[in-house]
Amino acid sequence: MTELRTVPSEQGIPLAFRHTPGSGPAVVFLPGYMSDMAGSKATAIFEHCRTQGRECLLLDYSGCGESDGDFADGTLGIWRDEVLLLIANQVESERVVITGSSMGGWLMLLVALELGDQLASLVGIASAPDFSEWGFDEEQKAQLRAGETIFEDSDYGYDPMPTHAKFWHDAERRKLLDAPIPVTCPVRLLHGQEDKDVPPEISLRLAAALASEDVQVTLVKGGDHRLSRDSDVALLLRTVDATRSI
């Protein structure tokens, strides 16, 4: 891995990132909820790009991983703007491939809508757009509407896992699946058939909502939400490799 560096956000918060230069389109990886750039998929993509001489950017949102800030202050809107700032300040290639995992797949779409001609393609991994709607029951939504933080059991080392009302209210304003999504670049969506956290149906709904006519959904038999088995990571790397020519 290359040296960890930081750049201040618009609010002055040091944002951590790793960058390896090379040819394009540059690959930008967006982690999931409460995840960071030290995850297995992020590091696999980074090392793969580095050895191939392809530009790649990893990052931690404010309040996550090596970045400063308080996780409770984070929202999709804030994190989207941080991603856009890092792309503008660090990426050298004229075009970028955004790769998003879980919540990062929602952010991937929000970032894509702002990139214009710089956007080359998207690669989603168990993408979770609109999870503020389908990911909570009515009792939990009532608590969040009232400004409460809710806590849930987690299988990912964040036990209990919080959802803060500020994040949820912002997310509700950024739902995408119930209207056409004006993204026209090639899109590749990978989703485990045994995903218990994000139903595979979400990737199918996303494929239908996207304006692009070049969208492929790959359902992985036996794959869970992490999609971190050796075979899953190999599929991800092949998918990212293919974005050089699509």
Q: Active-site residues: which are they?
A: 102, 195, 225
- Using only the alpha carbons of the chain, give its radius of gyration: 17
Query: CA nearest 237: which of 59, 45, 55, 18?
Result: 45
User: Which two structure tokens, joined as six digits, stand for 171?
Assistant: 């997310």
User: Which two structure tokens, joined as six digits, stand for 39?
Assistant: 């995850």
- Dihedral sign of CA atoms 42, 56, 102, 154 in order: positive
193 contacts: CB under 8 Å, gap ≥ 6: 200, 219, 220, 221, 222, 223
